[in-house]
Amino acid sequence: MALLTLAHAVNHLPEFGLELFPAHVDHRLREESSCEAEALRTYIEATFSLPLSLLAVTVTDQARWGVEMAARNSRHQALEALRQSVGARTIALGHQFDDQVETVLMRLLRGTGVSGLAAMVPAKGHLIRPLLGFGREELRQYLQRKQISWMEDPSNQDRRYFRNQVRLDILPYLRRVANPRIDRVLYDLSAQTRPWQEMVARAADAFLGEYGVALTDDPLIWPRAFAELDEPVKAELLQRKAKIHGLRLQTKHLSPIWAGKAATWPSGWQITWTDGGEMRVASPKPEELPTCSAMDSHIPFRPGLVRWPPGGELMVETVGTATDEGPGYRAYVHKAQHEIWSFRTWLPGDRLRPVGLAGSKKLQDMFVDRKVPKDARHRWPVLVNQAGEVMSVIGLANDERSQQEGMAWLIRYWPKR
């Protein structure tokens, strides 16, 4: 709302004179969101005499990306489609100072590289973020002076989302015990990193253009000149390749490559070297998929990375150190300290009581409803309590008993495709 108010206020100046197309994306993640969107449309059209485009989207791939990242992907697709349909040059987004601070801290906590510290940039492609230099409270005061109302999304108070934990708990704690100016420190760190990241990005662009590398190739054979690049440029190129396929790389995925060794990326992607010294990045082939029946043995529930014998990896984290960003199927559960839980695969007759649904449901029916391929069902991790009752089918459904009192955990599952 502050972005629209500012744009509308300065648009009479000679250097502006833009045609404005206000848009609101309704993710339809809450029952009341459509009603709120209509109220917003009425208010904006009455206040600014501008039609508001309401873009209702269906947030897909929530199990794979998490709700926040999946919503972001759907939102950007809808806005880009609108931009093209009206012939607009740019999409102006309302991200501001506090959003940037939260993003930097979230990336630090999950172990980002230097390039990740640059966080959001003021302009990239068709996207611009004019408000990055303004704080959330400053913008609220501006709207109050202008007597402009705004809506607060109640999901911003939901601590199931890592960004809200950072905003409501972690940052206030750091301001109190570490540095009252921690927000400025993090924002300045992002600003200082950005020129470095832009330099690396230019070098990566130049390499792709000079050698005609198509990042979508599978397998992708990098030219021998790749090995001669500086490490930050190589990392940028590999992260771009991984991002295309929904993968997020960490230091452990890149370190073997720097040493000229083979490596395995999430979801079973393989990095090998040819006899001619060229690096090969390839997805797992269908013949490499494991074929296994149900696993009767149990893998203990414990914090950290868990190798999943049927194929893939599990990561168990306390919610306070977890993130909703990046690929992987995920489940949020609460477990009492004395309870003993473990992972196994689906067994015939397994049932659970899904959250918000009266009664129980067969896991077999749930797999069919969620369109899980038959060859993946017997590999899917199931979380069970000591009595063998299903607490969660990771990334697909939670039993209502896993949402009761107890320590909050995030479980992520990366299948081997």
CATH number, position 27: 3.40.50.620
Range with top average pLDDT, 137-141, 156-160, 388-392: 137-141
Range with top average pLDDT, 39-43, 151-155, 243-247, 299-303: 39-43
| Cβ-contact 356, 363 below 8 angstroms | no
Q: Are residues 279 and 322 in the same domain?
A: no
The pLDDT value recorded for residue 65 is 64
Q: Are residues 14 and 139 in the same domain?
A: yes
Query: Does residue 189 lie within any of the structural domains?
Result: no
For residue 343, what are the domain limits? Answer: 299-415
Q: Are residues 232 and 305 in the same domain?
A: no
The pLDDT value recorded for residue 24 is 95
Report the b/e string of 369-394 with b at 16+ CB within 10 A. eeebeeeebbbbbbbbbeeeebbbbb
Among the three residues 125, 150, 177, which one is the final residue of a domain in this structure?
Answer: 177
| Cβ-contact 186, 98 below 8 angstroms | no
Tell which residue, 367, 365, 362, has the closest CA to residue 352. 362
Residue range 239-284, pLDDT digits in tens: 999 888 877 788 888 889 998 899 988 878 899 988 778 899 998 7
Q: Are residues 255 and 403 in the same domain?
A: no
Instruction: Report, as an integer, the average pLDDT of 179-192.
Output: 95
Number of domains present in the structure of the chain? 3
Among the three residues 128, 148, 177, which one is the final residue of a domain in this structure?
Answer: 177
Q: Report the 10 Å Cβ neighbour count for 346.
A: 21
The yes-or-no verdict on residue 323 having pLDDT over 60 is no
Q: Are residues 44 and 134 in the same domain?
A: yes
Instruction: Report, as an integer, the average pLDDT of 324-353.
Output: 81
Q: Are residues 52 and 122 in the same domain?
A: yes
Q: Report the 10 Å Cβ neighbour count for 400.
A: 15
CA pair distance 302, 4, nearest whole angstrom: 48
Residue range 60-101, pLDDT digits in tens: 766 556 777 788 888 999 999 999 999 999 999 999 999 999
Q: Are residues 8 and 140 in the same domain?
A: yes
Q: Are residues 400 and 351 in the same domain?
A: yes
Q: Are residues 256 and 332 in the same domain?
A: no
Q: Are residues 277 and 303 in the same domain?
A: no
The pLDDT value recorded for residue 322 is 46
Q: Are residues 23 and 154 in the same domain?
A: yes
Query: Does residue 327 lie within any of the structural domains?
Result: yes
Among the three residues 128, 162, 177, which one is the final residue of a domain in this structure?
Answer: 177
